């Protein structure tokens, strides 16, 4: 007998029939003797609807009230699933985030989990044999007593955090795909599902554009060494052996992976914008005058390239931000013009970031050089480059995204099973 946390996303609970299907997945694990906590998202499309209502009432709405509204979607799902489980003879109770409690910071709409006490849930596992159905994506800031939400994809983070709190054997993330692929199969039909991925590699994949898991959920899994299993909720519950290994991808520590590939996967993001601040005086503190205001505005800066002029007196700074933050980033830089002292701002929104990820890069030279040569042969111009120990990213024109991804996927032998 083990202890599992099962998380179901919006498409998995999109309607009553899907919720009944989820109940059968849970029943299978309970019947196998496992202690089970379930974390659910809002029904598909519901959070978008709630967000739209907030914006319709007031584009500049109170973030605290926004959280109170959007957190309601998960409450509905949790209650419906608890009823569905009770209907098929499974003892179950729904929990709101504050009832556990999931204690968070007060950064409304993007709060971070500070603490979860899993003792109450563990006690109910033992004494009542009860399935806990928990509303994901939400918590409470105890000093103010206000409901908080964790940002888009926050139910993944809730699930991994709860799994760590109750000392679960594994956290199963059920979604509309059957695992993590070497890249998006819609772009590269030959993309392969991976059986195992190291936490560090998955962290890079998620942060560079792969949509399977929220970045913070992977960070939590790595911190607590909590295995995360990504699997499909659309597999028939009755066809799955709870004691076997169903199709899916296990995200785990690198030590558990027997053979490490040079390149594990290719991630990409079209939600990028490029900003170039031109002809800044080349002196100490100039970078801080640009990036400190952006940080204070909670704008995440990714790729940074600096070019110094031939005379050494001025410099250009080019960087990327999420497309959603593009307008705010330009406004922030414009407002700080007197302090920065630049000549002009150039920008582009028709750019994409393509990233090559693999822990094997640590011990193999020339991996990036191969990519640059292959892209050059395809006449794909590189605007900017960033690297880390197990990843490098290139910024290119959006129009060439799919071609670049397919080229690199083939180059590193990822087309082959």
Q: Which parts are annotated binding residues for ATP?
A: 7-10, 175-176, 181, 186, 211-212
Q: What are phi and psi of 115, to 5 degrees?
A: -165, 145
- 353 close to 387: Cβ distance less than 8 angstroms: no
CA atoms of 349 and 274, how far apart (whole Å): 6
Give how far Cα 351 sits from Cα of 281, 368, 400, Å: 27, 20, 9
- Using alpha carbons only, what angle is made at residue 268 by residues 180 and 261, rounded to the nearest 5 degrees? 50
CA atoms of 134 and 94, how far apart (whole Å): 6
CA atoms of 149 and 137, how far apart (whole Å): 6
Q: Which helix (H) or strand (E) holds 230?
A: strand 228-232
Q: What are phi and psi of 169, to 5 degrees?
A: -75, -25
- 187 close to 402: Cβ distance less than 8 angstroms: yes
CA atoms of 4 and 415, how far apart (whole Å): 33
Q: Which helix (H) or strand (E) holds 386?
A: strand 384-388
Cis peptide before 168 (omega within 30 of 0): no
CA atoms of 150 and 384, how far apart (whole Å): 31
The burial of 342, by beta-carbon neighbours within 10 Å (0-12 exposed, 13-18 middle, 19 or more buried), is given as: buried
The burial of 348, by beta-carbon neighbours within 10 Å (0-12 exposed, 13-18 middle, 19 or more buried), is given as: middle
Annotated binding site for substrate, which residues? 47, 74
DSSP state of 144: T
Annotated binding site, which residues? 7-10, 47, 74, 175-176, 181, 186, 211-212
CA atoms of 170 and 216, how far apart (whole Å): 17
User: In 3D, which of 220, 392, 181 has the Cα closest to residue 302?
Assistant: 392
Q: Which helix (H) or strand (E) holds 350?
A: strand 344-357
């Amino acid at each position: 007998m083990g202890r599992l946390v099962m998380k179901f996303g919006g498409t998995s609970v999109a309607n009553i029939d899907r919720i009944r299907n989820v109940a059968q997945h849970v029943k299978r694990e309970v019947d196998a003797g496992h202690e089970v906590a379930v974390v659910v998202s809002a029904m598909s499309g519901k959070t978008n609807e709630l967000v739209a209502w907030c914006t319709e009432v007031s584009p500049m709405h109170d973030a605290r009230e926004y959280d109170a509204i959007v957190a309601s979607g998960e409450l509905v799902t949790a209650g419906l699933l608890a009823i569905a489980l009770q209907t098929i003879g499974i003892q179950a109770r729904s929990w709101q985030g504050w009832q556990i409690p999931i204690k968070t910071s007060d950064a409304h709409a993007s709060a971070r989990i500070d603490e979860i006490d899993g003792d109450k849930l563990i006690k109910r596992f033992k004494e009542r044999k009860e399935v806990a159905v928990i509303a994901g994506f939400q918590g409470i800031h105890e000093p103010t007593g206000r409901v908080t939400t964790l940002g888009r994809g926050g139910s993944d983070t809730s699930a991994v955090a709860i799994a760590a709190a109750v000392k679960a054997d594994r956290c199963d993330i059920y979604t509309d795909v059957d695992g993590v692929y070497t890249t998006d199969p819609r772009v590269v039909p030959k993309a392969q599902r991976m059986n195992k991925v190291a936490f560090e590699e998955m962290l890079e994949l998620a942060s560079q554009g792969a949509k399977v898991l929220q970045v913070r959920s992977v960070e939590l899994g790595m911190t607590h060494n909590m295995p995360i299993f990504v699997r499909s909720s659309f597999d028939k519950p009755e066809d799955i052996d709870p004691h076997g290994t169903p199709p899916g991808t296990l995200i785990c520590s690198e030590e558990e992976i027997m053979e490490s590939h040079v390149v594990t996967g290719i991630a990409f993001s079209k939600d990028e914008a490029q900003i170039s601040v031109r002809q800044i005086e080349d002196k100490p503190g100039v970078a801080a005058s640009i990036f400190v205001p952006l940080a204070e505005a909670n704008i995440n800066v990714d790729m940074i390239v600096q070019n110094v002029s031939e005379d050494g007196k001025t410099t250009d700074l080019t960087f990327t931000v999420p497309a959603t933050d593009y307008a705010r980033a330009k406004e922030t830089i414009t407002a700080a013009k007197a302090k920065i002292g630049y000549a002009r701002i150039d920008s582009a929104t028709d750019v994409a970031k393509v990233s090559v990820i693999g822990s094997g890069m640590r011990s193999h030279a020339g991996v990036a050089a191969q990519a640059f040569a292959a892209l050059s042969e395809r006449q794909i111009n590189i605007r900017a480059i960033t690297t880390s120990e197990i990843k490098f990213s290139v910024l290119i024109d959006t129009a060439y995204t799919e071609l670049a991804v397919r080229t690199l996927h083939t180059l590193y032998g990822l087309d082959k099973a």
